[in-house]
A and B are shown apart, each in its own frame.
Chain A
Amino acid sequence: MKLTAMSKQLYYEDVATGSEISPLTKQPTTRQLVMWAGVSGDYNPIHYDKDFALDRGLPGVIVQGQLIGCFLGQLMTDWIGEQGILRKLSCSYKGMNFPGEALICKGKVNKKYIKDSQHYVECSLWVENPKGEKTVSGRAIVILPSSG
């Protein structure tokens, strides 16, 4: 696997309220769902056994919510760079996602402030499926370095 070097460091001063975070597209395969089951210990067959999922009234195997939560985690760690700290990440799973679908992770800056000499940025996050539906929504609080 090719590891990519981190992008340029983001500073508190670079961020403006209302600005968008560069989106991250993930396209989980059933193989990835199985890998996630292995590392997370979530062996619910609705995520890898199609017959089981159909029997439970689902349209097919579905992507684990927690895996998509990790995609939102990556959206933030990619954005904040090595010097940034992800302090808080919350995700609310609203709709089902299916393997093979391109999931676009997006975010927007809501607020920035300095507290106890730390530089905080609050963002709202969401995931869009190919139909443009927001299947996961979330929030994040990060601490960024200051260039000033």
Chain B
Amino acid sequence: MVDKPLITEELMAKIGMEGKPREYEVERGMIKRFAQAIDDQNPLWQDEEYARKSKYGNIIAPPTFIAAIGFEQFMEETLALASFTTILHGKTELECYQPIRPKEIITVTTKITDIRQRQGKAGKVVFITFATTYKNQKQELVAKCQQMVIGY
């Protein structure tokens, strides 16, 4: 039996190409909901009165907040060019240069850096690596994130 290809040539052709930049406005409510979702009760993320007296002068987002910005749209676009039954996260590597603050406008740009296919016991497995940069409205680099997802 020949395995059906799991990814299209169109997806393979995207390796090394930068995707269209997307803008996201960070809202205070998003940061609070994020902190609640990860159950992190650090007052810097949620308590405005506390945060005002901190060195940041306002609430900031937890460093891991960044990886959630734009992830959904990128995965949607990528999965449209693949036919995976299951997709799992393999690796995440986050570099943070500045804390994310409410009302910032973050521009997210993602590039697929590598796609590898391997023959596993139960069929083909595809490893997709992508690198994302996040800039604020002043065009300052706030973070970089490299991720690898596994599809089969």
A-binding segment of B46-54, B111-119, B128-136: B46-54
User: Of A1, A86, A88, A90, which contacts B91 at CB under 8 A?
Assistant: A90
Query: How many A-B contacts are there with CB distance less than 8 Å?
Result: 120
User: Of A42, A65, A78, which contacts B42 at CB under 8 A?
Assistant: A78
Interface centre among B33, B37, B55, B95 (most CB of A within 10 A): B37
Contact B38 A70 (CB under 8 A): yes
Contact B63 A39 (CB under 8 A): no
Distance of A118 from chain B, by nearest CB (Å): 13
Q: Which of B22-53 contact A (CB under 8 A)?
A: 30, 33-34, 36-44, 46-47, 50
Instruction: Determine the chain B residues whose CB is within 8 A of the CB of A54 once the complex forms.
Output: none
Distance of A90 from chain B, by nearest CB (Å): 4
> In whole angstroms, how far apart are the Cα atoms of A115 and B34 in the complex?
33
Closest to A83 in B: B55
Please give the residue numbers on chain B whose beta carbons come within 8 Å of chain A beta carbons, in ascending order. 30, 33-34, 36-44, 46-47, 50, 54-55, 62-64, 67-68, 71-73, 75, 85-97
Instruction: Determine the chain B residues whose CB is within 8 A of the CB of A40 once the complex forms.
Output: 37, 67-68, 71-72
- What DSSP secondary structure best describes chain A's contact surface? mixed
User: Of B36, B43, B71, B94, which contacts A90 at CB under 8 A?
Assistant: B94
User: Of A32, A88, A92, which contacts B37 at CB under 8 A?
Assistant: A32
A sample of 25 cross-chain residue pairs with beta-carbon separation below 8 angstroms, ordered by A number, consists of A1-B36, A3-B42, A3-B47, A4-B43, A5-B50, A6-B43, A28-B39, A35-B37, A40-B37, A41-B73, A56-B86, A64-B89, A66-B68, A67-B37, A69-B64, A70-B64, A73-B62, A74-B40, A74-B64, A77-B40, A87-B95, A89-B96, A91-B93, A92-B91, A93-B88
> In whole angstroms, how far apart are the Cα atoms of A26 and B90 in the complex?
21
- What DSSP secondary structure best describes chain B's contact surface? mixed
Binary contact readout A72-83 vs B (1 if CB under 8 angstroms, 0 otherwise):
011001100011
Instruction: Determine the chain B residues whose CB is within 8 A of the CB of A82 once the complex forms.
Output: 44, 54-55
Distance of A103 from chain B, by nearest CB (Å): 12
Instruction: Determine the chain B residues whose CB is within 8 A of the CB of A36 once the complex forms.
Output: 37-38
Contact A42 B90 (CB under 8 A): no
Distance of B143 from chain A, by nearest CB (Å): 10
Closest to A43 in B: B72
Binary contact readout A24-62 vs B (1 if CB under 8 angstroms, 0 otherwise):
001010001001101111111010000000001010000
Contact B39 A32 (CB under 8 A): yes
User: Of B33, B40, B44, B46, which contacts A70 at CB under 8 A?
Assistant: B40
User: Of A3, A28, A43, A93, which contacts B50 at CB under 8 A?
Assistant: A3
Contact A88 B96 (CB under 8 A): yes
